[in-house]
Amino acid sequence: MTETLAAADFRDPAIMLSGTVDYAMYESFRAQLADAPTQGLIVVELSTLGGDPEVARMMGEDVRFHSDLEPGRRFVFLGKAAIYSAGTTFMGFFARENRYLTRGTRLMVHERKLSKQLVIDGPLTTCIATVKATLHEIETSIAIQNEGFENLIRGSGVTMDEVLEKAPSNWYIEANEAQSLGLVAAVL
């Protein structure tokens, strides 16, 4: 069992991120990760209203990869104020016992969104290929989205059915509720 941390453990985060989850945040994340200590506690502090879920997945994979390669480092997530959308996806890459929120922080979980016009124009066989390609894009996006939901709820009291029911209408979860559901280790 991993020791639950106290507020004092979060005094000097090694990695501090805020704003939109995008490639600029990823560059900042990578630079701060490179400068982070090679042993001990590595606090990753985040506040975000969301952004690109694929960038969140890249950052999350970096955390997972470094956690596996460097067992002497403990990567811990600290969510402050708002952890929406892509931020929640990123949080899901941290082990549940390494997820913390500050008081009053809100998580937001929602389905991925797609905005696309489908133009069907040309020979009929080409039209079928265009429709199938769009369907495959949607199906793959749903599978990736659901992998993120599974990461988030693993080891918690939340079921996948609950997430799939609540996510289409933006599920907001207050910090204490997130703790009681088992989504985070503690609220500071």
For the cut 70, the answer to whether the pLDDT of residue 7 exceeds it is yes
Residue 48's closest CA among 76, 12, 90, 9? 90
Cα 13 → chain centroid: 18
For the cut 90, the answer to whether the pLDDT of residue 85 exceeds it is yes
For the cut 90, the answer to whether the pLDDT of residue 2 exceeds it is no
> Average of pLDDT values for 78-88?
98
Contacts of 33 (CB under 8 A, 6+ apart): 15, 62, 66
Indicate the pLDDT class of residue 46, thresholds 50, 70 and 90: very high
In contact, 160 and 150? CB cutoff 8 Å: yes
Six token digits for residue 136: 């495959």
Domain at 7-187, CATH from 3.40.1110.10, 2.20.25.650, 3.90.226.10, 2.60.290.11: 3.90.226.10
Contacts of 176 (CB under 8 A, 6+ apart): 103, 187
pLDDT per residue as tens digits for the range 61-74: 999 999 999 999 99
pLDDT per residue as tens digits for the range 115-157: 999 999 999 989 999 999 999 999 999 999 999 999 999 999 9
Question: For 4, which DSSP code?
Answer: P
Amino acid at 26: Y
Mean pLDDT, rounded, of the chain? 96
Q: Hey, CA dihedral for 36, 38, 42, 47, is it positive or negative?
A: positive
For the cut 80, the answer to whether the pLDDT of residue 1 exceeds it is no
What is the percent of the chain with per-residue pLDDT over 70, rounded to a whole number? 99
Contacts of 149 (CB under 8 A, 6+ apart): 92, 109, 160, 163, 164, 167
Q: Where are the domains of the chain?
A: 7-187
> Average of pLDDT values for 5-20?
96
In contact, 42 and 75? CB cutoff 8 Å: yes
